[in-house]
Structures are given as structure tokens and as C-alpha cells.
Amino acid sequence: MYNKGTIIPGLIIFVLIVMSPVLYNGLKAGSVPKPEPPPGGEKQCVLPVSEMRDKHMQLLNEWRDEVLRDDERVTVVADGKQYRKGLQLACMQCHTNKEKFCDSCHEYASVKPYCWDCHLTPAQQKAALKKETH
């Protein structure tokens, strides 16, 4: 009446197909990247490291809105040091190598941020300045 002979093997095959990526990888996600620390030896960031890992995109979106809509360009951190708001003005001043810092984690997480649609890396900025002067 219920065709047990075909339903049960069909369910087993379905579960195996759905589980095949998990079984193939052996429940391993790969090694977590360790982004390169800033070459200048900076120990302090705008927020603590754990918050920056979790919330850097929200922070950058807030900064974007505040800078573009409210013309508010300076932020102050707990130790009193002022940072100018912006990916290139704050972040890329210390984290100069996009490939070793940003890309290592974004590729691991399979995230494609849209920041680089408009912003240039420090290396791209130097090349653009060089091109302008020639």
C-alpha cells in the first residue's frame, strides 16, 4: 500500500546525496586564516580585535553613512587617539596589504565585499598617483 520497497531506499539515497558534501569533507572546514598583523606594530585598533572581527562591516557602513550624509569625519577611540573615518583613511593606514589581511578571511568565509568597487588599496593608490604624475 505504501510502497515501502521503493520509498525507504529512495529516502536513503536522498539522505546520502544531501550528506555527501559533509561526508566528502570529513566534517572539516579547513584551517582558519590568521590575518597578517599591521607591519607598523600598531597594537590598538578602533575597536578591540574580537569586535572588529565580528562587526567591522557594520562599523564601515556606519562610517560611510556618517561621512557621506552628515559630513562627520573624525571618530575617537577609548584611549583618546583620533582616527579619521574611512576604509582608506583609518583601516588601510595600518593594514596595508589587502591580500594578506582582508582577502585571507573573506576568501575563507566566501564573502565578496563591495568596498573595493570604489576604494583603492594602498598599492593601487601609489600606482594611480604615479600614473597621474607621468
Per-residue pLDDT of the chain (134 residues), as tens digits, is 578 888 999 999 999 999 988 888 777 777 888 888 888 777 788 888 889 889 999 999 999 999 999 999 888 777 778 888 888 888 888 888 888 889 989 998 889 998 888 888 777 878 888 887 76
pTM, full prediction: 0.68
Return the ∠ at Cα 122 (arms to 96 and 115), rounded to 5°. Answer: 90
CA distance 96 to 90: 10
Residue 36 neighbours by CB distance under 10 Å: 13
For residue 38, the model assigns a pLDDT of: 83
